Amino acid sequence: MGKSWTVGQQIAAGFLLPLLILIALGTFSYRSTQRLLATSESVTHAHEELTGLSSFLASLDETETGKRGYVITGREDFLQPYHTGKRGVTAELRQLEELFGADADQKERIVQLRPLVEERLREIDETIEARRIRGFDAALKLVVEGNGPKVMEQIRRIVTDMKTHEQKLLTERNSEAKQAAMWLSQILLFGTLVAVVIVAGVGMLVTRGLGARIGAAVQHIRSAAAELEAAATQQVKGAKGQVSAATEVSTTVRELVTTSRQISDSAQRVTQVASETALAARGGNQTVEGAQEAIEVVRRQVDQIVAHMLDLGRKSQEIGGILDIVSELSEQTNILAINATIEAVAAGETGRRFGVVAGEIRKLADRVGGSAKEIRRLIEEIRAAANTTVMATEDGAKAVEAGTRRFGDVAQSFRRIVEYVGSTAEASREIELSTKQQTSAMEQVASAIADVAQTARESESGSSQTLNTASQLSGLSGDLVRLIRREELPA
Amino acid sequence: MNVHSQERDKPSEGAQRPGVAIASERHVAELRRAFDASFAAPPRDAERSGELVLAIEAGGQGYAIRLSDIDGVHECRKLVPLPGSPPGLLGLTGIRGRLFAVHALGSLLGLPAANETPRWLLIAGGAEPVAIGVASIEACLEVNPADLVQVEAMDGEGHVREIVTLAGRARGVLALESLVAIAKQRAGDHREGAQ
């Protein structure tokens, strides 16, 4: 049998072959039995035919007996056998026709027999009628002169032929019946033996195959049970560890819940401090904005100072231009005075006094020139001072502008501080909310961890049960192995 | 804080400012007084007047000229250059309806910066006057004749024969006759050369 067959297929195949043998054996037996029954029926039929022939002759003899008694006695009561025999002959003859319906020879003999029987009965009837009507002698005469014995002899000869034929047939059928019975017996005997051998072989094969496979499976079950036992042991250890870990985690989570609440309180305080800081930063921002406005005013005033100083410089330049004209006029006057002096000298004694006046004019012109130079020096100093003031003012303006920018930066920084503090407050509020949510989640986690610990304990219990079950399964597999392979069991 | 602001913040500046203002006021008062006094003083004696000299500058050097040696001083307004003029002859100019040949004083003195643009013109030469251009006239001063010190041909050409000290600075007093003669000689030589 193939190793790939399943146990059911092997068992079905093991049952199928003996079943086929039994079916064949039964078929043969049925057919042999049928044939034996047919042979027996033929024998019975032959016996019935022989019995019918005997009854026919007996009935015919009984009619002869009744005729003879009536002829001898003349009494009607002696005709009773005649009547019974006559009815019996008719019935037997009709029955014989039915019995020999299938046999042409016997049927032909029946056909030959019927006129003879009718003649014999007619001769008996005539004899009886003669006795009744004409008396004993007439009857005796008919008996003596009649051809009754011949007809009877013919009838007896035909019946004997028929019996002989039937005996022959009966012998043949008995032989056939014996042969059929012997054939049936041999079939039953040998078929049974063959079936027994085949069933035994198949049974042995199936037993070996199934035993091997079931043994292997049981070995696998045994090893699996051992592994399951080991795994259950490991699972028990793991479950114990899990219980311990769950307990530790539960403790840690409780500590986490406590810490989370502390964080929530701290975040709340941070939120409060951040709000106060935001208020302070807004106040600082307002102060800085006020200072920035004041600096802006200073910057505008410095711009005005610069404008005024530049205007002063321009005016000084205009004064310088006018002073140039004054200087030139002074110079021209001086030159005129020199020329007047020259002319006075050229005029001699008469021009002496004019020369004195010209000298005074020249001196005045020199003084004007000197004063103009002094004014120019002063103007240059004024312009230098104005330039210095403008530069200093521009530097101051730049410093103010830088201060303005710095105050702007400070204001921007304050605004950023306000924004950051607002963000910090918002973040701390979110932290507070998140921490509260975290605390709630931690409590849920603690509850879940407690459930996990409970589950781990239940798992430990279940693992212990699994270990017991695995041990029982290992024992059962060992028992199965012992049941299947007693000889292969380890000592 | 920059340098100017630091200087501005110095305490000594604030202390100096009133002093400067007081000095200026005194200076103005002195000028006013001198101006008024010039009109209040009696006329000086003409006999006691000194020698008038012009402190001038030509060729980057300071000189002095006796006022009596020149016929007039005029501003050099417009100068028309002459084609093919000799060195030192800057051109022609018109003064009150008369044409004058303008010679550079530095060129006549043989100084390196001979062709400088003259600011003033000194008229000299008598009947045939010429204009001598000078860069500037620094002052017209009256000096004591005793301050004019005779020297021997200081520049080698004979143009400086005296030395006078003006405002602590010694100046050579130019002899314009020789300079005018040189100018006329150059113009004459050039004219002859051109003919």
Residue A484: pLDDT over 80:
no
Q: Among 3.40.50.2000, 1.20.120.790, 2.40.50.180, 3.30.70.920, name the CATH number for the domain at B2-7+18-38+50-147+160-186.
A: 2.40.50.180
Q: Phi-psi category of B94—alpha, beta or left, where left has phi over 0 and alpha has psi -120 to 50?
A: beta
Listed in sequence order, the residues at least 6 apart from A371 whose beta carbon sits closer than 8 Å to its beta carbon are B31
Backbone φ, ψ for residue A166 (5° rounding): -65, -40
Per-domain residue ranges for chain A? 7-146, 242-454
How distant is the Cα of A435 from the closest Cα of chain B, in angstroms?
54
Greatest mean pLDDT among A193-202, A230-239, A335-344, A398-407 lies in: A335-344
**CB distance A370 to A333 below 8 Å:** no
Q: What is the pLDDT of residues A120-145, one digit of tens each?
A: 888 888 888 888 888 888 888 888 88
CA B88/CA B130 separation, integer angstroms: 12
How distant is the Cα of A392 from the closest Cα of chain B, in angstroms?
5
Backbone φ, ψ for residue B129 (5° rounding): -70, 150
CA A293/CA A289 separation, integer angstroms: 6
Q: What is the pLDDT of residues B15-50, one digit of tens each?
A: 456 676 788 788 778 878 877 877 776 665 545 568
Structure tokens at A239: 């479950």
Nearest CA to A428 among A265, A260, A261?
A265
CA A482/CA A1 separation, integer angstroms: 24
- Which of B31, B67, B139 faces A342 most closely, judged by CB atoms? B67
Q: What is the pLDDT of residues A275-302, one digit of tens each?
A: 888 888 888 888 888 887 888 888 788 8
Chain-chain contact of B5 with A378 (C-beta, under 8 angstroms): no
Q: How many CB pairs under 8 A join A and B?
A: 67
Give the per-residue pLDDT at A253. Answer: 82
Q: What is the pLDDT of residues A49-80, one digit of tens each?
A: 888 888 888 888 888 888 888 888 888 888 88
Give the per-residue pLDDT at B122. Answer: 93
CATH of domain A242-454: 1.10.287
Strand partners, B63: B56, B172
What percent of chain A is predicted at pLDDT more than 70?
98
CA B54/CA B74 separation, integer angstroms: 13
B44–chain A Cβ distance below 8 A for any pair: yes
CA B104/CA B93 separation, integer angstroms: 13
- Which of A341, A355, A395 faces B2 most closely, judged by CB atoms? A395
CA A221/CA A117 separation, integer angstroms: 93
Window 94-153 of B, Cβ < 8 Å to A = 120, 137, 139-140, 142
* ipTM computed for the complex: 0.77
B79–chain A Cβ distance below 8 A for any pair: no
User: Looking at this protein, which amino acid is placed at residue A164?
Assistant: T
Average pLDDT over residues A33-38: 82
Per-domain residue ranges for chain B? 2-7+18-38+50-147+160-186
Give the per-residue pLDDT at B5. Answer: 40
**CB distance A484 to A218 below 8 Å:** yes
For A449, B46, B164, the CA distances from B146, given in Å and listed in that order, are 131, 17, 9
CA A350/CA A340 separation, integer angstroms: 13
